[in-house]
């Protein structure tokens, strides 16, 4: 009996111990939440009255966090809203339904965000998008419903329906995801969504900014020409001159891939679809030390930078091209973006393309085709087309690591043929230009203070031109031109945040560049033949170190040095760079910069295809002989004043360049002798901007500058004006937003470019010049305007369209862009000197239609 009793006691104790794990202890909800915070490293926010006198039976062994929170919601009758991985909010549960409305705006600029998305977090089929005023409304949602507010390029936020209910039509401010926002010194620098950072760079948002004068879309390269100090003397997208530098002296990147051809139709149109570009960063001076192999400015473009939260698709057409793009979230961590754009010229001739063609082909062999002595010739073929394609794959491994793969293709093709059927004579010009690149990037944050960026890319540029004259299928005159650039680049940068005020950067960059060109010319009638061939490579190794100190916006210093070894030149080059900014009054800053730069690739003139009149420059490597290494020194000093809605930005610059050659210096050297020399560039630029309201914006910019060239053994060793020197220019622009309308008007004035007026024929019928670029063309000016209208196709505002129209050169001024001279001969071989003018675009309209959903 005693043994039996002992057995029952042991059995009871064991049973009690065994079942203890099944029993839940009842505790105050506040105590439970404190325990959960400690155990799972999370934080809860709530009003005390929400959890007062609430209890929850907490299991001794616990549960996983997700199940635990669901149990609390079910048993206690509260709603737990997950803000992010660590923070949660707790509110009382209710089934009450409400109608809400609100406005979504940019936190920095207060600009209305059109097409921002507001959806229920747990049922994303229910939601809407904002209109052109950033306004939205939703009906019959619960007070406790969690709303997800998002917009491309901005941080997504979660809000409760009750947040909107408590204040009618709440105004919600979204913050951009980019770290650059912490460095902004001027918002709305020119127009909406154009900002100036404290390192002197200017950031533009093509997809978000208002319409610009003369543009139906935000053509990337043409948009940068709105910035003071950046101009295109010959009225093209690609002909960007930054503070006196030439286009080939700029560094242009697309998602980290270097580009050697940046435009379509011989420079007329940017080769980038603005609908996929999130950010364009422009440096006029003191560019970050991570940018090498350039002596002028930097233009860096970036597409999708975050995994998209929903699919978006768009397509559009204007009077030059048709395009389509799509952005797709494959999973929560993986997204892809695709874009394609093609010219309309293959199947439709529009007035816009006709006007551009007239400008591009003037004074070329194509425009002169029907004026040949051996008439009658007829235009048997005239095909021009262009294409660009982009792909980007983004994988967000976790909060600390992101990998992207990117691709770009730019293609231009010309096929032109003249034919004389009587004598069976055919004359043809064929030109193909391709630029493609593939890149991969890995960004990683090791912890709160350490991070790295690894970028690899391969870029290839090819240009091929063939010109043939054949009679009865026998070639008697032949010209061939090939130019190829192959480049492979690797860079690894590490950044260390030393404290809240300072950071340190160290890195290594490697680049292999191979440039090949081949020029051939043969004529069997006059028994002439000539060739020129070059194939060179260079390896560059760069060590980078940089330091940045920022005491809020009071004092900033950003300095660094690149040390580069160039293998084929057997040379080590140091490139120190310094940028400083000092706040001397509440609304007034001074800034200054100093830098040394080098460049081993440049474009030079070739004379084999000068009679073609197009693309007669080719990329070449420095060889320390005929093509020296380019080296520059630049110093700047400026000031910034901003008060309320006024901005005044003034900058002076001084730049000297050594190693330039007469083959690339931008003036007409009628002698084919090559001269080496230097350039001295001085000037200032000024911006005054007034934002009258969120709907009205005005800006004024002025540039004054001079580029003086000096070549040993040329022009009596005296300096003369560079061929692209614009001594002064003025630009005035106005933007107006009226409901769904965006309107803009802009007027441009430029002093005429230099040209050589004293030209005579010497006894050998050659051109003889007494002084170079001693005269100026008439002043250039034109008026441009644009208007776009946005509207929705459906009641839920999920399909948006845009129609627009633009006008270039409204009063149809016949501006002269260039003046040269040439010798012609009559039947008796008597020489005559002729003046050749190149004219700007005439009055040119353009129309756009877009749909996005």
Boundaries of every domain in the chain: 21-92, 100-174, 183-302, 312-852
Length of the chain, in residues: 853
Q: What is the pTM of this model?
A: 0.83
State pLDDT tens for residues 136-155. 888 878 777 778 888 766 77
Q: Of 2-16, 78-92, 107-121, 638-652, which has the strongest mean pLDDT?
A: 638-652
Q: Does 100-174 carry CATH code 2.60.40.1120?
A: yes
- Does residue 34 surpass a pLDDT of 90? no
Mean local confidence (pLDDT), 680-700: 91
Record the tokens describing residue 137, joined without a space. Answer: 């409304």
- Give, in order, the Cα–Cα distances in Å from 811 to each of 211, 225, 750, 787: 20, 21, 16, 17
Long-range contact pairs involving 830-836 (C-beta distance under 8 Å, separation at least 24): 831/761, 831/765, 833/759, 833/760, 833/761, 833/767, 836/363
Contact 205, 279 (CB under 8 A): yes
Hey, which residues does 464 pair with through a beta bridge? 432, 482
- The pLDDT confidence band at residue 165, using thresholds 50, 70 and 90, is low
Close Cβ partners of 716 (under 8 Å, ≥ 6 residues apart): none
Distance, in Å, from the CA atom of 68 to the CA atom of 80, rounded to the nearest integer, reads 11
Q: What is the pLDDT of residue 511?
A: 97
- Rounded to 5 degrees, φ, ψ at 658 are -115, 150
Residues 6+ apart with CB under 8 A from 739: 132, 133
Q: What is the CA radius of gyration of the chain?
A: 32
In this prediction, residue 692 carries a pLDDT of 87
- 3.40.50.300, 1.10.3720.10, 2.40.50.140, 2.40.170.20: which CATH number matches 312-852? 2.40.170.20
The pairing of beta strand 43-46 with beta strand 87-92: parallel
CA nearest to 197, candidates 112, 300, 306, 304: 300
Residue 395, strand partner residues: 334, 403
Q: How many CB atoms lie within 10 A of CB 225?
A: 20
The predicted model gives 160-189 an average pLDDT of 71
Which has more confidence, 605 or 263? 263
Question: What local confidence, expressed as pLDDT, does residue 95 receive?
Answer: 63
Q: Specify the pairing of strand 170-174 against strand 97-106.
A: parallel
pLDDT tens, residue by residue, 342-366: 998 877 889 999 999 999 988 888 8
Residue 116 confidence (pLDDT) above 90: no
Residue pair 772/715 in contact by the 8 Å Cβ criterion? yes
Q: Decide if pLDDT at 16 tops 60.
A: no
> Could you tell me which residue, 33 or 622, shows the higher pLDDT?
622
Grade residue 417 by pLDDT with cuts at 50, 70 and 90. Answer: confident
Model confidence at 551, pLDDT cuts 50, 70, 90, reads confident
pLDDT band, very low/low/confident/very high, at 373 (cuts 50, 70, 90) = very low
DSSP β-bridge partners for residue 683: 653, 705
Mean pLDDT of 299-314: 90
Per the model's pLDDT, the better-predicted residue between 508 and 363 turns out to be 508
Tokens matching residue 104: 């979504």
> In this predicted structure, what is the pLDDT of residue 495?
95
pLDDT for the residue numbered 759: 65
Lowest mean pLDDT among 179-188, 207-216, 331-340, 587-596: 179-188
The pLDDT, as a whole number, for residue 827 is 65
Number of Cβ atoms within 10 Å of the Cβ of 90: 22
Q: Is residue 451 classed as helix, strand or coil in its secondary structure? A: strand
Look at the domain 183-302 and name its fold. Answer: Ferric Hydroxamate Uptake Protein; Chain A, domain 1 (2.170.130)
| Residue 645: pLDDT over 60 | yes
Question: Tokens 């330091």 belong to which residue?
Answer: 547
Looking at the chain, the whole-number percentage of residues with pLDDT higher than 70 is 88
Region 523-546 average pLDDT: 87
**What does the alpha-carbon distance between residue 848 and residue 560 come to, in Å, rounded to a whole number?**
45
Q: Whole-angstrom Cα distance, residue 295 to residue 308? A: 37
* Percent over 90 (pLDDT), the chain: 46
Of 366-380, 588-602, 618-632, 824-838, where does mean pLDDT reach its minimum?
366-380
Q: What is the pLDDT of residue 115?
A: 72
CA-closest candidate to residue 418, choices 376, 480, 360:
376
Best CA proximity match to 81, nearest among 91, 72, 96 = 91
Instruction: Please give the Cα distance from 391 to 326 (Å, whole number).
Output: 10
Highest mean pLDDT among 62-66, 713-717, 732-736: 732-736
Residues 6+ apart with CB under 8 A from 414: 383, 384, 429, 430, 431, 432
pLDDT reported for residue 12: 42
Determine contact, residues 509/542, Cβ cutoff 8 Å: yes
Per-residue pLDDT for 21 more than 50?
no
Please state the rounded mean pLDDT for residues 465-480: 87
Nearest 5°: the CA angle 603, 264, 522 is 55
For residue 14, pLDDT beyond 60? no
158 and 146 in contact (C-beta within 8 Å)?
yes
The pLDDT confidence band at residue 63, using thresholds 50, 70 and 90, is low
Phi and psi (nearest 5°) for 380? -85, -25
User: In terms of Cα–Cα distance, which of 543, 548, 579, 549 is closest to 561?
Assistant: 543
Instruction: Enumerate residues 6+ apart whose C-beta is below 8 A from 496.
Output: 449, 450, 503, 504, 505
Q: How confident is the model at residue 18 (pLDDT cuts 50, 70, 90)?
A: very low
Mean pLDDT of 581-596: 94
Taking a C-beta distance cutoff of 8 angstroms, is the pair 387, 419 a contact?
Answer: no
Pairing, β 251-254 against β 298-302: parallel
The two structure tokens encoding residue 754: 């230099």
Q: What average pLDDT does range 570-592 have in this prediction? A: 94
Domain over 21-92 is classified CATH 1.20.200.10: no
Region of 569 please: left (phi>0), alpha (psi -120 to 50) or beta.
alpha
Q: Which residue has the higher pLDDT, 561 or 478?
A: 561
Residue with more model confidence, 237 or 74? 237
Q: Is the pLDDT of residue 476 over 70?
A: yes
CA triplet 772, 778, 781: central angle to 5 degrees? 130
Greater confidence (168 vs 796) lies with 168
Q: What is the residue-averaged pLDDT of the chain? A: 85
């Amino acid at each position: 009996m005693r043994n039996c009793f002992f057995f029952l006691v042991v059995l009871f104790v064991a049973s009690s111990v065994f079942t203890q794990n099944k029993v839940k202890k009842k505790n105050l909800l506040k105590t439970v939440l404190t325990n959960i915070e400690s155990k799972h490293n999370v934080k809860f926010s709530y009003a005390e009255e929400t959890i007062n006198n609430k209890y929850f039976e907490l299991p001794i062994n616990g549960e996983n966090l997700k199940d635990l929170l669901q149990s609390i919601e079910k048993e206690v009758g509260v709603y737990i809203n997950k803000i992010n991985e660590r923070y949660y909010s707790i509110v009382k549960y209710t089934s009450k339904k409400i109608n809400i409305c609100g406005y979504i705006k940019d936190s920095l600029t207060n600009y209305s965000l059109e097409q921002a998305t507001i959806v229920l977090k747990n049922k994303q089929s229910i939601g809407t998008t904002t209109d052109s005023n950033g306004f939205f409304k939703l009906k019959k949602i619960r007070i406790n419903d969690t709303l997800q507010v998002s917009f491309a390029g901005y941080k997504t936020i979660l809000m409760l329906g009750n947040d909107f209910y408590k204040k009618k039509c709440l105004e919600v401010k979204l913050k951009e995801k980019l770290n650059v926002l912490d460095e902004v010194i001027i918002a709305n620098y020119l127009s909406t969504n154009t900002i100036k950072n404290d390192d002197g760079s200017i950031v533009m948002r093509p997809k978000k900014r208002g319409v610009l004068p003369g543009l139906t879309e935000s053509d990337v390269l043409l948009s940068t020409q709105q910035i003071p100090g950046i101009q295109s003397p010959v009225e093209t997208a690609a002909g960007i001159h930054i503070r006196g530098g030439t286009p080939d002296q700029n560094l242009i990147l697309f998602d980290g891939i270097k580009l050697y051809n940046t435009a379509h139709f011989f420079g007329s149109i940017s080769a980038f679809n603005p609908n996929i570009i999130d950010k364009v960063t422009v440096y006029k001076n003191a560019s970050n030390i991570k940018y090498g192999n350039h002596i002028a400015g930097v233009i860096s473009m970036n597409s999708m930078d975050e995994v998209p939260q929903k699919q978006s698709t768009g397509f559009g057409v204007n009077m030059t091209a048709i395009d389509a793009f799509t952005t797709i979230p494959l999973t929560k961590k993986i997204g892809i973006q695709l874009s394609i754009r093609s010219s309309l010229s293959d199947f439709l001739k529009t007035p816009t393309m006709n006007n551009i063609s007239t400008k591009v082909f003037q004074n070329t062999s194509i425009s002169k085709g029907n004026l040949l002595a051996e008439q009658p010739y007829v235009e048997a073929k005239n095909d021009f087309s262009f294409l660009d394609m982009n792909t980007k794959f983004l994988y967000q491994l976790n909060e600390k690591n992101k990998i992207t793969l990117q691709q770009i293709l730019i293609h231009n093709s010309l096929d032109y043929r003249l034919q004389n059927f009587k004598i069976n004579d055919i004359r043809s010009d064929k030109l193909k230009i391709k630029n493609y690149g593939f890149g991969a990037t890995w960004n990683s944050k090791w912890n709160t203070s350490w991070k790295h960026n690894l970028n690899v890319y391969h870029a290839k540029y090819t240009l091929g031109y063939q010109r043939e004259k054949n009679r009865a299928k026998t070639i008697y005159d032949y010209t061939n031109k090939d130019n190829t650039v192959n480049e492979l680049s690797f860079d690894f940068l590490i950044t260390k945040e030393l404290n809240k005020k300072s950071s340190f950067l160290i890195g290594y960059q490697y680049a292999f560049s191979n440039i090949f060109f081949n020029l051939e010319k043969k004529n069997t009638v006059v028994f002439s033949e000539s060739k020129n061939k070059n194939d060179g490579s260079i390896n560059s190794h760069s060590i980078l170190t940089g330091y940045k100190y920022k005491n809020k916006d009071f004092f900033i210093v950003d300095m660094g040095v690149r040390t580069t070894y160039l293998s084929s030149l057997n040379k080590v080059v140091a490139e120190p760079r310094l940028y400083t900014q000092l706040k001397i009054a509440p609304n007034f800053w001074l800034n200054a910069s100093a830098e040394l730069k080098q460049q081993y690739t440049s474009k030079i003139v070739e004379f084999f295809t000068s009679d073609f009149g197009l693309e007669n420059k080719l990329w070449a490597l420095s060889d320390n002989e005929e093509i020296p290494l380019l080296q520059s020194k630049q110093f700047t000093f400026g000031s910034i004043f901003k008060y309320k809605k006024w901005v005044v930005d003034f900058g002076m610059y001084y730049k000297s360049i050594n190693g330039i050659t007469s083959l690339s210096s931008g003036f007409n050297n009628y002698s084919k002798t090559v001269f080496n020399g230097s350039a001295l560039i001085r000037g200032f630029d000024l911006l005054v901007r007034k934002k009258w309201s969120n709907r009205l914006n005005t800006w004024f910019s002025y540039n004054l500058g001079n580029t003086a060239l000096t070549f040993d053994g040329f022009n009596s060793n005296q300096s003369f004006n560079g061929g692209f020197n614009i001594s002064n220019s003025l630009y005035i622009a106005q933007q107006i937003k009226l409901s769904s309308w965006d309107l803009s008007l802009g007027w441009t004035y430029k002093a005429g470019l230099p040209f050589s007026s004293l030209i005579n024929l010497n006894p050998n019928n050659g051109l003889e010049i007494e002084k170079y670029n001693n005269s100026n063309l008439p002043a250039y000016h034109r008026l441009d305007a644009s208007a776009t209208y946005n509207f929705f196709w459906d009641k839920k505002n999920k399909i948006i369209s845009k129609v627009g129209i633009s006008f270039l050169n409204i009063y149809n001024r016949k501006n002269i862009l260039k003046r040269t001279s040439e010798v012609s001969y009559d039947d008796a071989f008597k020489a005559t000197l002729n003046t050749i003018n190149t004219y700007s675009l005439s009055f040119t309209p353009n129309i756009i239609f877009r749909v996005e959903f």
